[in-house]
Amino acid sequence: MPIEKFVTVQTSFVPMPIENVDTDQIIPARFLKATTKEGFGDNLFFDWRYDKAGQPKADFVLNKPSYDGTVLVAGKNFGSGSSREHAAWAIAGYGFKAVVSSFFADIFRGNSLNNGVLPVQVSEEFLAGLFASVDADNKTEVKIDLANQTITNVATSASEGFEINSYKKSCLMNGYDDIDYLLSLEKEIAAYEKQAVKF
């Protein structure tokens, strides 16, 4: 299915200055019993977001009305742990278009790209700058320009480039997904199989 096209975003953002946020926190295992992709946004960060009675915890950032925006900015090594794509569905389902961190776990990076959520890896300094800016003003903005592969801290005008391979970039910008491409390779795949080692 086509993914949503990624266009330049300029938005306030949600800060989560915690390192090693793992996929079990992003979406706890007990929510993985669904057989469709819908509804995961409601359970994003569930155990951090809600108390035992299911009431929002006032001190969790997603529950603070002063923070909003379609970009999540998180500490180093975001998305480690399980391969559950439900984590990416939860982030996309909640409405985030991009996640910014100084380091991403591999599988999470791939999963988010496959769901139209852009992982933007920035330097430690840039990340610290974003946290400082949002501390000073909750509504401060970040701008992510995929075409030019740049991210800007609007408050300080600090800007840096980020990496993405040109194939994935064009997928995101055009809303293509990999399966269509792979399906078009039927002949190449059959030819590969003819010469492959098999026992």
Partner 1 sequence: MGKTLFDKIWDSHVVKTIDDGPNVLYIDRHFIHEVTSPQAFGGIKARGGKVARPDQVIATPDHNIPTINQHLTIQDELSRVQVETLKQNCEENGITMYGLNHPYNGIVHVVGPELGITQPGMTIVCGDSHTSTHGAFGSIAFGIGTSEVEMALATQCIMQPKPKSMRINIEGELHKGVTSKDIILYIISKLTTGGGTGYFVEFAGSAIRSLSMEARMTICNMSIEMGARGGMIAPDETTFEYIKGREQAPKGAKWDEAVAYWKSLCTDADAVFHKELNYEAADIEPMITYGTNPGMGAKVCGNIPTLDSIEDSSKNSFQKSMEYMGFAAGDKLEGKKVDYVFVGSCTNGRIEDLRSFCEAVKGRKKADSVTAWIVPGSKQVEKQAIEEGLKEQLEAAGFELRQPGCSACLAMNDDKIPEGMYAVSTSNRNFEGRQGPGSRTLLASPLTAAAAAVTGVVTDPRTIFN
Q: Is residue 112 within 8 Å of 91, Cβ to Cβ?
A: yes
Min dist. Cβ of residue 146 to partner 1 (A): 15
Min dist. Cβ of residue 10 to partner 1 (A): 27
Binding-site size, partner 1 (CB under 8 A): 59
Which residues from 109-128 bind partner 1, rule CB under 8 A?
110-111, 114-115, 124
Q: Rounding to the nearest 10 degrees, give the CA dihedral for residues 8, 38, 109, 3.
A: -50
Min dist. Cβ of residue 140 to partner 1 (A): 21
Residue with smaller CB distance to partner 1, 37 or 143: 37
Place of tokens 């852009």: 118
Q: Quickly count: other Cβ atoms within 10 Å of residue 163's Cβ.
A: 8
Q: How far is CA 31 from the centre of its chain?
A: 19
Rounded Cα gap, residues 100 and 117, in angstroms: 11
Residue with smaller CB distance to partner 1, 10 or 114: 114
Which of 58, 65, 186, 194 binds partner 1 (CB under 8 A)? It is: 186
Stretch of 5-13, 19-27, 56-64, 142-150 contacting partner 1, by CB under 8 A: 19-27
Token reading at 99? 């996640």
Check residue 80 for interaction with partner 1 (CB under 8 A).
Answer: yes
Rounded Cα gap, residues 182 and 50, in angstroms: 41
Check residue 49 for interaction with partner 1 (CB under 8 A).
Answer: no
Which residues from 81-100 bind partner 1, rule CB under 8 A?
81-86, 88
* DSSP code per residue over 120-154: EE--HHHHHHHHHHHHH-TT-EEEEETTTTEEEET
Rounded Cα gap, residues 20 and 4, in angstroms: 28
Binding stretches for partner 1 (CB under 8 A): 1, 17-20, 22, 24-25, 28-30, 32-37, 47, 52, 75-77, 80-86, 88, 103-107, 110-111, 114-115, 124, 165-168, 177-179, 181-183, 185-186, 188-189, 192-193, 196-197, 199
